[in-house]
Amino acid sequence: MKKILSIVTLALTVITASAQANDIYTLSKGTNAHGSTTIKVGDAEGNHAVKGDSITIIIAPEEGQVVAAVKGKLRMTWEVARTRGLAVSDMIAATKVKDKENTYYFIMPAANVEVSVVYIESIKVETKDSSEGDKDVDNVMVNIAPSDEEPIIENGVLVIPVTINSITVPAPTDPSATDNKDVTVYIAGEVLSSDGQTMLRVTNIAAGAFDTNGGSDTKISEVVLPETNVVINIEDGAMKSNGQLLDVISPMGLLADYALMGSMKENFEANKISAKVTAPNKYWTFSSGVDCVLPDGVTAHIAIWDAGIPRIVELTDSQLELKNGRRGVKANNGVLISSEKGNAYEIVASPGNQASGSTPATKDANSYAGNCLVPTIKATNYTAGKFLILKNNKFHTIASSKSKKVKPGKAVFSLEKAGVK
């Protein structure tokens, strides 16, 4: 029986604290539901300050509550904001004072400030029983804490980096049962609060994060990593559960980054890091910074320049043979994959040619003679008129250098490699 846990929402509790006028501005705080807040201007408590003053926020949280961040919302009229070159929606993120618990500071701007304290309260976990339909697993908790990274403001939203520390799963419902429930954990990369002003962003997964308690009848076997712009740091031992290696499902564009991460060495060498893709068409482009095993039902091709047009040529079994004798595509090569449109496939990172702990290379390996496809290992804007992109099984010229970046894990046809002037 396989159950699926999806880390989908992180409940936040926000308490607030406000400001106004001339050269002296007001600091205020609202009700703190989970502790108390002290505001200092310089070395003394106060609620008035001038631009440039150092403001210190000291929080005394209730037992069991964890402070995630402190933010300051600028309070002013539209007219005042316009004359000062500010926006009424502007927000500042306070910086944590090193070596002082629950203490933050910021520099007073030319505006009244409403101070808010954000607490991490809980993670809600949704489950799905793949064999019996929708079915919840009760009392599952994912425990998180603020990471060492500072919160930042992005597009008017306070983004709080967090680390996943552990997962708590229930004791067996039937003590006499001997079969463990097979569980997949889906990690949500970002979770927005209900008011749209605060976001938790997973940036780190701690060692032992997926260990289960001894009395549990739940076995975590697989972790699905989220689509993110930046690779999540994974500590040594994070991708094990009670000493057993986990299967790790990566986004296609980050497969090489995770496969070559030093902390994932054992998973990589055990062929337990892969990406799952759904074929968008009969032909789709592919590349990776690591050797990849091709699943049954797909073939790989290069594209050559022939009589003024691209021509697709299927790669032979010998060309597709990897170092360990498996069938796949060598790292840092752009290819075309032919498969059944709409089918889902799993592409496994293959150890052998790339060393664990190394940074994925981005240069074209040119492993297949005559191939004019170049890999896109990192998201790239290509020069207009010099590259072709595959769309609906046909190659089209990239008409503008300001076109949307080509996503990692794909490939483009280089007219320069084709010898076109």
Q: Is the per-residue pLDDT at 1 higher than 60?
A: no
What is the distance between the alpha carbons of residues 367 and 376, in angstroms, rounded to a whole number? 15
pLDDT averaged over every residue in the chain: 85
Instruction: Give every CB contact of residue 134 below 8 A, 6+ residues apart in sequence.
Output: 128
What is the rounded average pLDDT of the residues 164-175? 71
Maximum mean pLDDT: which of 14-23, 30-39, 121-130: 30-39
CA 333 to chain centre: 25
Question: What pLDDT was estimated at residue 171?
Answer: 61
Residue with tokens 């240069």: 363
Q: Is the per-residue pLDDT at 173 higher than 90?
A: no
Alpha-carbon distances of 129 from 125, 136, 166, 173, rounded to whole Å: 13, 7, 22, 15
| Torsion angle in degrees (nearest 10) through CA of 247, 253, 257, 263 | -20
Question: What pLDDT was estimated at residue 107?
Answer: 94
Count of Cβ atoms closer than 10 Å to residue 380 Cβ:
16
Strand pairing report for 25-29 and 190-192: unpaired
Judging by beta carbons within 10 Å of its beta carbon (0-12, 13-18, 19+), is residue 243 exposed, middle or buried?
exposed
Answer yes or no: are the C-beta atoms of 106 and 150 closer than 8 Å: no
DSSP 84: T
| Torsion angle in degrees (nearest 10) through CA of 153, 159, 163, 169 | 170
310-313 LR contacts (CB < 8 Å, sep 24+): 310/372, 310/388, 310/395, 310/413, 310/418, 312/283, 312/336, 313/370
pLDDT in tens, 248-277: 999 999 999 999 999 999 999 999 999 999
Strand pairing report for 373-376 and 344-349: unpaired
pLDDT in tens, 391-418: 999 999 988 878 889 999 999 999 999 9
Q: Is the per-residue pLDDT at 18 higher than 80?
A: no
Per-residue b/e over 133-163, b at no fewer than 16 CB within 10 Å? eeeebeebebbbebbeeebeeeeebbbbbbb
**CA 159, 165, 169 angle in degrees (round to 5)?**
120
pLDDT in tens, 341-390: 999 999 999 997 888 888 888 899 999 999 999 999 999 999 999 999 99
What is the distance between the alpha carbons of residues 67 and 69, in angstroms, rounded to a whole number? 6
What is the rounded average pLDDT of the residues 173-178? 57
Which structure tokens are listed for 329? Answer: 């595509």
Question: What pLDDT was estimated at residue 21?
Answer: 44
